[in-house]
């Protein structure tokens, strides 16, 4: 039967009314959770005393580093190394123009040779004076004996006495001349050594085994006393130099182990360093203390790299959970807290993670039972069957079982 177009509206209204009346007489059935309970291991949130860790940034430097400088004014004649070259102790690295220094050294050596000849002549003159004095003494004794026997005249005795006094005077003069010649020889030798040392300044040698890190001059440059020429680092050990606020420096001491992160070309490297030196003086401008952290041998470590050291501060109590208990989705972190036989998802604010244990700043309180390692597919409100709980441990200690 054909229904006129205008008759559709009453039929639709009646049908909707009937449906509404029928819906009011029967309530919808509650949804039943038919999923089997999930087996989980729980951990009880506990308070632990943790140091307030402070990250201090600094620069990696070699434990032994040398800046080679010029000690004379001369033109750089040759640079034999480049940055990155390994060098040995005593190896010539830079040669300066030493023509005038070499000439001075040769002149000093010549003067020394002349002084040696003069000293030899003075020594021979003294030997001759000693021989003449011996003869004069012998003659004087003989003439004196003859004069006592009336066999020599007084004039002969006077002559022998005068000869003896003259011989003694010549010996004294020869001795003084020999001493002066010896002193002149020593002075000439010292001048020669000094000239040789100054001439050696034209050769800049490596002070120890290491690697060249920076070249600061080129051939043809005029070097002046105190002018830096090269930098050489000993690659046997490096350290991280950081500055701590003076209020935090009171909580650190030498030989403490600290985590260190080094940023290099291949990424971030995590190592364990040792506090080797804490400056006693405080920087008056920054109110900071210089702290040096010795680093282990790490491949690719170089001076100038940036690093961060996690320095422990004042201890404080905080809630700790195993790192595996957190479920991270982007920037959001949550945990599953057990409520009777079901789990409830709870958003948390995590802090630092150290040695597998994460600090919980907010969202969990002491005593809450948390799923230690949520299985894949666990959802809010799901029933669970728990096993023996594990207690999270502080970093550096072993966790126990409840």
List the chain domain ranges: 38-47+316-386, 55-63+236-315, 73-97+202-232, 99-200
Residue 326: which of 337, 334, 338 has the closest Cα? Answer: 334
Angle at 226 between CA 220 and CA 229, to 5 degrees: 45
Mean pLDDT lowest for which of 4-8, 232-236, 251-255? 4-8
Class of domain 55-63+236-315: mainly beta
Residue 174: which of 122, 134, 132 has the closest Cα? Answer: 122
Tell me the average pLDDT of the chain: 79
Which of the four pLDDT bands, split at 50, 70 and 90, describes residue 1? Answer: very low
In tens, the pLDDT along 33-53 reads 667 787 788 888 777 777 677
State residue 390's pLDDT score.
Answer: 53
352 three-class SS: strand
State residue 178's pLDDT score.
Answer: 85
Q: Where are the beta strands (DSSP E) in 86-202?
A: 86-87, 92-96
Share of the chain above pLDDT 90, in %: 13
Residue 152 has pLDDT above 70, yes or no: yes
State residue 33's pLDDT score.
Answer: 63
State residue 368's pLDDT score.
Answer: 81
DSSP 3-state percent helix, strand, coil across the chain (nearest 5): 30, 35, 35
Which of the four pLDDT bands, split at 50, 70 and 90, describes residue 328? Answer: confident
* Residue 225 in tokens: 């006393």
What average pLDDT score do residues 339-364 get?
81
State residue 380's pLDDT score.
Answer: 81
CATH architecture of 73-97+202-232: Beta Barrel (2.40)
Cα 61 to Cα 237: distance, rounded to the nearest angstrom: 9
- Could you tell me the pTM of the whole model? 0.52
State residue 400's pLDDT score.
Answer: 39
CB distance 348 to 326 below 8 Å: yes
DSSP states of 308-327: EEEE--SEEEEEEEEGGG-E
Partners of residue 274 on adjacent β-strands: 257, 294
CA within 13 Å, CB half, 295:
32
In tens, the pLDDT along 263-315 reads 877 788 888 888 888 877 776 666 788 888 888 887 778 888 899 888 877 77
Q: Which of 2.60.40.10, 2.30.30.280, 2.40.280.10, 2.40.420.20 is the CATH number of 38-47+316-386?
A: 2.40.420.20
The residue behind tokens 């126990």 is: 400
Residue 93 has pLDDT above 90, yes or no: yes
In tens, the pLDDT along 64-90 reads 889 999 998 999 999 999 998 999 999
If you ran DSSP here, which 8-state letter would residue 6 be given? Answer: G
Higher pLDDT: 251 or 381? It is 381
CB distance 59 to 235 below 8 Å: no
Partners of residue 350 on adjacent β-strands: 360
């Amino acid at each position: 039967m054909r229904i006129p177009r205008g008759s559709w509206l009453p039929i639709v209204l009646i049908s909707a009314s009937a449906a509404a009346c029928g819906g009011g007489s029967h309530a919808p059935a509650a949804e039943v959770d038919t999923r089997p309970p999930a087996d989980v291991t729980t951990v009880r949130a506990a308070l632990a005393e943790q140091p307030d860790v402070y990250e201090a940034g600094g620069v990696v430097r070699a434990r032994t580093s040398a800046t080679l400088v010029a000690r004379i004014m001369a033109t750089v004649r040759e640079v034999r190394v480049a940055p990155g070259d390994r060098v040995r102790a005593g190896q010539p690295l830079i040669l300066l123009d030493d023509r005038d220094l070499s000439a001075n050294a040769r002149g000093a050596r010549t003067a020394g040779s002349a002084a040696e000849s003069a000293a030899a002549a003075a020594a021979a003159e003294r030997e001759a004076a000693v021989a003449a004095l011996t003869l004069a003494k012998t003659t004087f004794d003989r003439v004196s004996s003859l004069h006592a026997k009336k066999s020599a005249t007084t004039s002969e005795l006077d002559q022998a006495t005068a000869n003896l006094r003259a011989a003694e005077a010549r010996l004294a003069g020869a001795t003084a001349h020999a001493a002066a010649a010896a002193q002149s020889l020593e002075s000439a030798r010292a001048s020669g050594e000094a000239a040789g040392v100054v001439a050696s300044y034209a050769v800049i040698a490596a002070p120890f085994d290491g690697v060249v890190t920076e070249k600061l001059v080129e051939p043809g440059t005029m070097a002046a006393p105190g002018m830096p020429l090269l930098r050489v680092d000993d690659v046997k050990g490096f350290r991280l130099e950081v500055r701590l606020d003076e209020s935090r420096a009171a909580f650190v001491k030498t030989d403490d182990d600290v985590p260190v992160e080094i940023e290099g070309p291949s990424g971030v490297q995590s190592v364990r360093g040792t506090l080797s030196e804490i400056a006693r003086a405080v920087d008056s401008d920054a109110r900071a203390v210089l702290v040096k952290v010795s680093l282990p041998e790490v491949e690719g470590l170089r001076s100038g790299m940036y690093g961060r050291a996690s320095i422990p501060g004042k201890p404080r109590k905080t809630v700790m959970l195993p790192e595996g208990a957190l479920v991270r989705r982007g920037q959001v972190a949550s945990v599953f807290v057990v409520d009777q036989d079901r789990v409830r998802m709870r958003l948390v604010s995590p802090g630092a993670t150290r040695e597998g244990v994460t600090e919980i700043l907010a969202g969990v309180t002491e005593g809450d039972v948390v799923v230690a390692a949520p299985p894949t597919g666990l959802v809010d409100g799901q029933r669970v069957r728990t096993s023996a709980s594990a207690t999270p441990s502080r970093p550096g200690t072993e966790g126990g079982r409840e």
